Structure 1
Amino acid sequence: MNFILYDGIEWKKLFPITLTRPVSEIRLGLFTIKERWERYIGKNVHNIITQPFLSEKYSKKKSSFFMNVLLINSSFLPNEELIQILFSLKENETIFFEEKMIAIKKNFFLEKEDIISLSLKKCKKTYHVKRVIHIQYPWDIFINNEIVLKKDFVFFTKGKKSFSLLGKNHVICKDKIFLEEDIKANNVVLNAEYGPIYIEKGVNIMEGSVIIGPVSIGKYTTLNIGSKIYGGTTIATFCKVGGEIFNSVIFSYSNKVHDGFLGNSILGEWCNLGAGTNVSNLRNDYKKVKVWNYEKKDFFQTNLQFFGIIMGDHSKSAINTQFNTATIVGVSDSIFGYGFPSRYIPSFFLGGIQRKKKIPFNQVCETAEIMMSRRNVIFSIIEKKILEYLYQLLDI
């Protein structure tokens, strides 16, 4: 039996994070959603069905017909109950959470069937799950990150042995700390009293840093001197971070190297926050925040009080940039200038509170190529095509 992850209607609701990736490539907890499904099921994803302009990078198979397949909506996270039902499914049986389809087992013609409409067709049998984490909006990532970190730690460290931490360090609740090999740390504090800490191989934690769980640090990431990492935070692979970070998710290859606060936020890949950049995660009047909605092209009221910034891939802020509460930043923006930037910045824009202008596409590519080459990563033709497709769209 093969399993396929597909993008449902949630893909558009998760902008700007999903402008450049399928839903399955969203990271929270210890893994991306795709990696988490693979570990729960015990085999690799057969294919990913996503938007056509993303398929060349993320879809493995070009076939339009799939037999004996489990089609799974990527916006749902696996758990033990869900996996048990999945393995018991027979042909044309489905799993639902409330009114939303999580999975269906069937033969599938990609060119003849609409996955989203499958839930409306009569199936042989429908199962219902009572509890599952559903990532519908980008802020669901940091809202659920703490609980996902705790569950991931228990599930994926069971029966595994942690490496020891060399150097003079202060470790609290050692049994809830898992360390991979080749971690450099001296005169740091690891406090797992409030939640587990998972640190992957090759991480460098410089002097004076404090980590309070639950926290995950990805491989070959560097924490600068005096970093303060609070619970509910995931920092992915090959990042460089510093300052104060609280309940945030930073995707791979992004930098927040210097002092400054980042809370209740998400940074995509290849982002960079300049020295002194600060993010407000709470209004002065403590009221619930309004957030930009890409589909309605307007701000709408949420039930959230704590909300920092959500930044798409390849975006940058200059030194001393001050982001207001609940700011949405698109892809490949370059933000600078006095005052607070707008709380919604479309993709590929240059500037801040003063009049913005669209960055020429050749400059977008030049910046991406220079930054990626610093990490020995090639800015590929496929990456360029994705950005070019987005660049030609309006109001993103």
Structure 2
Amino acid sequence: MNFILYDGEEWKKLFPITLTRPVSEIRLGLFTIKERWEKYIGKNAYDVMTQPFLSEKYSKKESAFFENILLINSSFLPSEELIQIIFSLKENETIFFKDKMIAIKKNFWIKKNIFSLKENKKTYHVQHVIHIQYPWDVFINNETILKRDFKFFTKGKKSFSLLGNNHIICKETIFLEEDIKTNNVVLNAQYGPIYIEKGVKIMEGSVIRGPVAIGKNTILNIGSKIYGGTTIASFCKIGGEIFNSVIFSYSNKVHDGFLGNSILGEWCNLGAGTNISNLRNDYQKVAVWNYEKKDFLPINLQFFGIIMGDHSKCAINTQFNTATVVGVSGNIFGYGFPPRYIPSFFLGGRQIKKKISFHKVCETAEIMMNRRNISFSIVDKKILEHLYQLLDI
């Protein structure tokens, strides 16, 4: 059985994180959604069905006809209960969570056709599943997923040991890959597991309190304070205080400052002294920018920091209000609080008026990526160019 991950209606609801990627490439816990499905099913995804302008980078198959296919909505996360049902599916049988389809088994499927539910032979319903519908669902569920991933992925595996003079609490729920460099740090897994991938460097005075995951070759600067519910992906440079947040690969929060209940996309950079408020002064629930309604809409959430799309940057001492949304390739600087919604490709501070030239967008992306020995490809440029030509993103 081959499986394909597809983007449903959730793709638009997950802006700005999905402006530059399929839903399956969202990271939380120890993995991206795609990686997690592959580990649970035990084989690589056959393909990813996403928006046409993203397909060149993320879709692998050119064929329009597929046989013996399991179609899975990428916005749902796998669980042992769900996998058991999936392995028992027969042709035209489906799995639902409430009124949302999670998966359907098809003996054949034509790529450009919309699959029909009229021929369903049987429908299974699951009572408990994690559904990522909005960006904030990522940090809301991250602590739960970290614990689940740790239990699933470390089963039967042996952790490496740390060298140096370190303070380790609850060693049995700390998993370390090889070549981790630490000295005089605290790893406290009393409140949740800690997973650290290979090549991570943790400088002296840093404290990690689980559940936390740190991706390969990431650097934690002197005195970093990483609280539970936090995932930091690969090749990041991190400092200051971070709480219940997800930072995608190749992004930097190098210096002091607070980041909480937030998501940073790839290739982001927070200047020294940047702070993000994650709680209103009046303790009320927040209103968040809605890309479809083009307005701020209230949500049932009290703690909310920032959602920042790929390639966005902010200058030193930037102060973000609670529940701020920044699009792709934004450049924020200046005195005072920036607006709580900053469209993609715009620059400035309190008054966001000027759109960055596309040449400058590409130039900045290329410089930053070259610093990590990564090429700013033609495909990457095409994705940003497509977004640049759209309005109100």
Q: TM-score, normalised by structure 1?
A: 0.98
CA deviations over 1:227-260 (Å, ceiling 9, x no partner): 0000000000000000000000000000000000
Partner of 2:336: 339
Partner of 2:95: 95
Report 1:345-356 matches (<5 A).
345-356=342-353
Question: Is 1:280 matched with 2:277?
Answer: yes
- 1:186 and 1:28 mapped to 2: Cα distance? 27
Partner of 1:318: 315
Given the alignment, which residue of 230, 235, 238 partners 1:233?
A: 230
Aligned partner letter, 2:210 = G
- Percent pairwise identity: 82
Whether the 8 Å CA contact 1:230–1:245 is kept in 2: the answer is yes
CA deviations over 1:25-59 (Å, ceiling 9, x no partner): 00000000000000000000000000000000000
Report 1:1-396 matches (<5 A).
1-106=1-106, 107-111=108-112, 113-115=113-115, 118-119=116-117, 121-396=118-393
Whether the 8 Å CA contact 1:200–1:217 is kept in 2: the answer is yes
- 1:283 and 1:114 mapped to 2: Cα distance? 44
Structure 1 outlier segments of 4+, above 4 Å: none
CA deviations over 1:270-323 (Å, ceiling 9, x no partner): 000000000000000000000000000001010000000000000000000000
SS in 1 for 2:365: helix
- 1:191 and 1:81 mapped to 2: Cα distance? 31
Aligned partner letter, 2:74 = S
- 1:145 and 1:379 mapped to 2: Cα distance? 30
Whether the 8 Å CA contact 2:311–2:365 is kept in 1: the answer is yes
- 2:248 and 2:43 mapped to 1: Cα distance? 24
- 2:237 and 2:102 mapped to 1: Cα distance? 36
Aligned partner letter, 2:55 = S
Whether the 8 Å CA contact 2:229–2:243 is kept in 1: the answer is yes
- 2:339 and 2:279 mapped to 1: Cα distance? 16
SS in 1 for 2:187: strand
- 1:387 and 1:172 mapped to 2: Cα distance? 45
Whether the 8 Å CA contact 1:337–1:354 is kept in 2: the answer is no
SS in 2 for 1:150: helix
1:355 positional shift? 4.3
Whether the 8 Å CA contact 2:96–2:126 is kept in 1: the answer is yes
For structure 2, which runs of at least 5 residues remain unmatched after alignment? none
CA deviations over 1:189-226 (Å, ceiling 9, x no partner): 00000000000000000000000000000000000000
Whether the 8 Å CA contact 2:326–2:343 is kept in 1: the answer is yes
SS in 1 for 2:347: strand
1:110 positional shift? 1.4
- 1:202 and 1:294 mapped to 2: Cα distance? 38
Whether the 8 Å CA contact 2:175–2:196 is kept in 1: the answer is yes
Aligned partner letter, 1:109 = I
Whether the 8 Å CA contact 1:26–1:33 is kept in 2: the answer is yes
Whether the 8 Å CA contact 2:93–2:121 is kept in 1: the answer is yes
1:356 positional shift? 2.4
Aligned partner letter, 1:165 = L
SS in 2 for 1:342: coil
Whether the 8 Å CA contact 2:346–2:352 is kept in 1: the answer is no
For structure 1, which runs of at least 5 residues remain unmatched after alignment? none
- 1:65 and 1:337 mapped to 2: Cα distance? 53
- 2:65 and 2:169 mapped to 1: Cα distance? 53
Whether the 8 Å CA contact 2:342–2:352 is kept in 1: the answer is no
1:122 positional shift? 4.0
- 1:127 and 1:208 mapped to 2: Cα distance? 51
SS in 1 for 2:157: coil
Aligned partner letter, 1:69 = I
With over 3 angstroms needed to count, the CA separation of the structure-2 counterparts of 1:108 and 1:227, relative to structure 1, is same
Whether the 8 Å CA contact 2:232–2:249 is kept in 1: the answer is yes
SS in 1 for 2:367: helix
CA deviations over 1:53-76 (Å, ceiling 9, x no partner): 000000010111111100000000
- 1:355 and 1:201 mapped to 2: Cα distance? 41
Backbone CA RMSD of aligned residues: 0.6
With over 3 angstroms needed to count, the CA separation of the structure-2 counterparts of 1:355 and 1:249, relative to structure 1, is closer
Aligned partner letter, 1:18 = T
- 2:220 and 2:352 mapped to 1: Cα distance? 35
